[in-house]
Chains A and B, each alone.
Chain A
């Protein structure tokens, strides 16, 4: 198991949030959207200029800027995690 900042994750990579390293308003905005330790996320894609990033959380889609994604540590799931088509 490896732990990296969410910013470094690639498209379609999945993982579980390990820590959110920010407080104050930004920290609260991140947490209230469900980005708390233990939540599973999948990187859905990035905007054309590589920022912001769109992630799949709890069945919905959230967007975050890279400098915000920097503050979120994710435990990466090993192996292929391409989302199932359906």
Chain B
């Protein structure tokens, strides 16, 4: 048995390479009905006839020039790693365009097997392809398959294995590029044949074609390998290029492309393709498009679809979110019951369970959202959204594909910037991608909503709906304007073309949707277990230490002593008993009036309530002082030296600091800071009232805070994601500093302008 055989899967974007890869190796790589889903190469194993095969899934490309990253990845692998077999997946329903790449593979003399994929789609469209005839004309084996169902995949692998064992067949017949280029190529090939340093690199004709096309990477490589012959090759290319320009005002590059397509057309005409219907026939997909991308209906339907998705996720996630919440409450209850009061218990309950639980609580929502979005992506609808909104986005220096990132980040309120930032992978241009991923976190993600709702409820309750709508529109306006600003300054550059294939609508497979949803949800869960866990613990430490000095503690203890002094022991016992037990007692004894404590008369009852209020007040003041004294409290106070500008006091500062970890933390931290006792679900309601009554809190302060929360630094998870996706921690740092600075300026403006009226 020989060593591992490497088989590469190459082909046009959206031809079904990853589907085939998954079918062969049993992997669960991301498949989507959107061109350009796979951006890095992926490897997997397969065994056939006792032979280990290493299968490599490559990014899709339309040709083998090296303008974009995916093309470089694909080409480098084919040229440098020299796989024993290249399986070229072609879309049978789109044969003509797909064979353009096949021609280039032939020219490179790669050991090629053509996988004629999606024959099911072709058949539905009344297209029949004679695989044998195609094989005879191309001079390579052609195997019809349906990657989605696995039909023909085994035959394909056998063919590939045979190819690996026998080696490639005779050289493919050369494509003619017209008299001028052909003679130039002949002299170039002769030059290359004379120079071993070049002949070793690539097949002579392919190298000649690349030099004629002016492929910069290849030209540089040739120059480095053999400077003198290289200059002669370039000389030949320049001469013929000048000649073409004067006689036909065209370029070698254009000429080569024209001839390649001419060659393909001539092949297809020789009985390879037979159509039942004429080419202009509208397929089901086109008919759907007549409605979904209609100039008037299209935008309406798009809004409807987005709202529908939003409604779907929020409605159906409500119950599971409550279950997850209940689970964590139960967990906290168990810890509370079995551990003695002290730092360990506090850490486990406030730090670990509430911190991580708060984030994991969103898992059902995230899962449903991903499911819905996977459906939109796999069906092909997202490509249409990009198509419809490209014009708007281009005005702001972005791209049709940016829409997806914004929507995922909370563009219709209630999303998450993490999947949004990851979705920018579909953008080809680095600058457009950066501008998109830096502005996507401005959207009102699901974590910001509770804070916004609380503040709006407290100060603008009559206009709640209008304010929510306003904040959504504001988010879009700010994101687009900032994107424009970035594109005019640090991310200056031309817009990338929107020459895109609109894939036909397909019915998503259930398995595909589940894989999609699960992979993304899992990575979210992993983050909650790592980053959020760390930050929650850190926050807990900062809000707990250093504890109150002994003197202060003693003072509160003395106050408590004073309060209970002279009060009957039974009252003290009743007042300090945990509330739960009290309820149980009431139930057991079954009094008609649950408000009245059994066994106590009216006066005693009053005394118990009084004492409890007194003790609660002391507890609250103690924790308030402790918080003020803690690291977080001191930091909050120190920050007041700048935060007075937009009117934020130290308590707000702590909450905002907490919000750096996760925006959900803002409400709970504000609640704690305003010492409303235990932080529970009811706290946002009562916090809202407290703030409304607090003289320090004015509508303009609330508005300034709303603005600040919407636009300041993204949460840690998002920043980590920005760092990963941009490939540099600098962009992460930039987004923290820039967004905070920007939000600060805007909030100050709102607060100070508001003060003038």
Contact = CB atoms under 8 A, between A and B. Distances in A.
Given A31-B258, A33-B501, 8 more contacts: A31-B257, A36-B254, A45-B293, A47-B389, A48-B299, A48-B388, A60-B94, A63-B499
5 contacts: A29-B62, A31-B254, A60-B504, A61-B504, A65-B498
Interface in A56-70: 56-65, 68
A28 B253 contact: yes
Interface string B239-278: 0000000000001011001100110010000000000011
Nearest to B61: A32
A2 interface: no
Given A38-B262, A63-B499, A51 B100 contact: no
B65 interface: yes
B63 A32 contact: yes
A68 B254 contact: no
Interface string B319-341: 00000000000000000000000
Interface of A: 14, 20, 23, 25-34, 36-40, 42, 44-52, 54, 56-65, 68, 81, 83-86
B422 interface: no
Contacts of B389: 47
A34 B264 CA distance: 11
Contacts of A81: 280
A61 B286 contact: yes
Contact of A48 (B125, B251, B298, B502): B298
B632 interface: no
Nearest to B215: A28
Contacts of B282: 83-86
**7 tightest Cβ-Cβ pairs between the two chains A and B:** A31-B257, A49-B391, A83-B280, A61-B502, A32-B62, A58-B96, A32-B63
A50 B289 CA distance: 15
A34 B261 contact: yes
A61 B375 CA distance: 21
B285 to A, nearest CB: 8
Interface string B67-86: 10000000000000000000
Contact of A26 (B280, B400, B497): B497
Interface of B: 62-63, 65, 67, 93-94, 96-97, 100, 125, 127, 251, 253-254, 257-258, 261-262, 265, 277-282, 285-286, 289-290, 293-296, 298-299, 387-392, 394, 400, 497-502, 504
Contacts of B290: 45
A86 B281 contact: yes
Contacts of A33: 62, 97, 499, 501
A50 to B, nearest CB: 8
B464 to A, nearest CB: 31
Given A26-B497, A28-B63, A48-B298, A56 B280 contact: yes
Given A28-B253, A33-B62, A83-B282, A48 B499 contact: no
Contact of A59 (B62, B125, B253): B125
Contacts of B253: 23, 27-28, 31
Nearest to A60: B94
A82 B258 CA distance: 28
B387 A34 contact: no
B391 to A, nearest CB: 4
A65 B497 contact: yes
Contacts of B294: 45
Contacts of B394: 65
A34 B94 CA distance: 11
Contact of B97 (A26, A34, A51): A34
A62 B392 contact: no
Contacts of A30: 497, 499
A45 B502 CA distance: 12
Contact of B498 (A20, A52, A58): A52
Given A48-B298, A63-B499, A68-B498, A20 B387 contact: no
Given A48-B388, A83-B282, A63 B500 contact: yes
A83 B125 CA distance: 15
A23 B258 contact: no
A28 B100 CA distance: 12
